[in-house]
Amino acid sequence: MVPGTMTRPWENVATVPTAEGALELRRRGDDEFLIVISGRVLMTNANRRSEQALATLACAALGRHRDPRVRREPRVLIGGLGMGYTLRAALDVLPPGAQVEVSELNPAVVDWCRGPLAALTNDALGDARVRIALGDVAQRIRSAPPGSYDVILLDLYEGPYDATQRREDPFFGHKALLRTHKALAAGGSLAIWAEDYDAAFARRFATAGFAVSTHRSGHGGRTHVVYVGVRTALPG
């Protein structure tokens, strides 16, 4: 073996218990990170294109919105912090007056993004436009007054797929999509990250009052999907 070619081992930086098993932050060298739950890799900083696309696709039209308030001071809700790449991508395209609320279940993830992961996103959580709300983003959407947000981004580690086709799914079921529709202002956007395309979900998304487009990110191998739905009037 050529000296220096041996794969570096992963180091466990932190572990916290969750209902789904141990949530771990792992590092290899100075610049490679993984977040793992119960042995399953949730995310890596080496593969972040789809998370960034989630934000840029949904926020791209805000600067051209016909409402001057939306152009100057858009209100954005992000469900799921992860390593902070979706947040960073949103901040990079949003105006100085934007208000960005990040709903994250686990306070340890917030601590990691303020600590060992901060350099990956140029300290996105330190941006004055950002506010952290610990808790379930589904509950925040449920309790939001009508028209509270101009953009909602759902960057959850399990997007819509066959196992979430049940009618009462709190994020991707029909009633949940109707609640999100209500929480968005007129012309607002809902963007959802998914591991792969699901035709049944795309149809359900559209029937909840959204003009839906789908976007694949990456080249070669398995590519993730971003659904973007622009709020329209509900049918009927």
Asked whether residue 68 falls in the same domain as residue 130, the answer is yes
Domain that holds residue 154: 47-231
Residue 3 has pLDDT above 70, yes or no: no
Give the residue from 205, 207, 190, 218 showing the smallest Cα distance to 160: 205
Q: Which CATH number belongs to the domain containing residue 126 in this structure?
A: 3.40.50.150
Residue 219 or 65, more confident:
65
Burial 18-47 (b: 16+ CB within 10 A, else e): eeeeebbbbbeeeeebbbbbeeeeebebee
Does one domain contain both 99 and 157?
yes
Alpha helices, DSSP H only, in 26-173?
49-59, 68-72, 85-93, 107-114, 137-143
User: Which has the minimum average pLDDT: 70-79, 89-98, 193-202, 210-219?
Assistant: 210-219
Q: Which helix (H) or strand (E) holds 180?
A: helix 174-183
Count of domains for the chain:
2
Asked if 34 and 56 sit in the same domain, the reply is no
∠141-145-146 over CA atoms, to 5°? 95
pLDDT mean over 139-157: 96
Indicate whether 128 pLDDT > 70: yes
Q: What tokens appear for 233 in the block? A: 């009037």
Do 6 and 86 belong to one domain? no
Contact 131, 87 (CB under 8 A): no
Judge contact between 190 and 180, C-beta under 8 A: yes
Alpha carbons 65 and 69: distance in angstroms, whole number: 9
Mean pLDDT estimate for the chain: 91
Q: pLDDT tens across 151-166, in order?
A: 999 999 778 877 656 7
Same-domain status, 54 and 139: yes
Query: Do 152 and 173 lie in a common domain?
Result: yes
pLDDT value at residue 49: 84
Q: What is the pLDDT of residues 10-51, one digit of tens each?
A: 999 999 999 989 999 999 988 899 999 998 888 888 878 888
Q: Could you give the count of Cα atoms lying within 13 Å of 9 in the half-sphere of its Cβ?
A: 3
Query: Does residue 84 share a domain with residue 38?
Result: no
CA distance 30 to 139: 37
Do the beta carbons of residue 78 and residue 191 sit within 8 Å?
no
Which helix (H) or strand (E) segment is 16 a member of? strand 11-18
Q: Which among 148, 194, 151 is positioned nearest to 171, based on CA atoms?
A: 194
